[in-house]
Structure 1
Amino acid sequence: MLVHFQYKPLTVLGRKQKWAFSCYFESHFVSGIYHYNGDILWQTGPHDPTKQELLKKAVHDLMLYHVYESEHQPNV
């Protein structure tokens, strides 16, 4: 399970953005850089490829929700 997910933009010019993110995954601190194309440069993360793939999918889903979908929500 992924908890305490945080992110912040590193670059804001143009379409090739990237964000720093951090969270806890299975009680271990994880951090990295999420690129506009979905690539992740891990700073700390699981070494097990299966867990890394699970984490990558979870981070990708959260980034899609927080960054891309929230930009297009109408202000109510």
Structure 2
Amino acid sequence: MISHFQFQSIYENQQLPGWSFSFYFQKQKFTGIYHPDGAIDWTSVVPQKENESSLKGQIHELMLFHVYEK
């Protein structure tokens, strides 16, 4: 389960899509960039393969809720 999820626009003009995010999972901090098409680029250590798909799904759900369903 993701904890302490945070995100912010990567552009000064916050109307442009693109966000940086961070969260903790299993006591490890992860960071990345969330693109408008839902693609994720990790800017920290890449999660283990068995967790990466699940984490991407959770991030996508959080971004849909916080950004697109305001």
Secondary structure of 2:69's aligned partner: helix
The 2-side partners of 1:29 and 1:64 are apart by 21
Structure holding more strand per residue = 1
Q: Give the AA of the match of 1:29.
A: K
Gaps of 5+ in 1: 71-76
Secondary structure of 2:41's aligned partner: strand
The 1-side partners of 2:3 and 2:15 are apart by 29
Gaps of 5+ in 2: none
Query: Which structure has the larger Rg over C-alpha atoms?
Result: 1
The 1-side partners of 2:62 and 2:36 are apart by 13
Secondary structure of 2:38's aligned partner: coil
Structure 1 runs of 4+ aligned residues shifted over 6 Å read: none
The 2-side partners of 1:68 and 1:43 are apart by 23
Sequence identity (%): 40
Shift of 1:13: 4.7
The 2-side partners of 1:50 and 1:39 are apart by 18
Q: Give the AA of the match of 1:65.
A: F
The 2-side partners of 1:26 and 1:69 are apart by 28
Report Cα offsets for 1:45-65 as digits up to 9, x if no partner. 31x222011110010000000
- Written as runs of structure 1 = structure 2, the 5 A alignment for 1:1-76 is 1-11=1-11, 12-14=14-16, 17-44=17-44, 45-46=46-47, 48-70=48-70
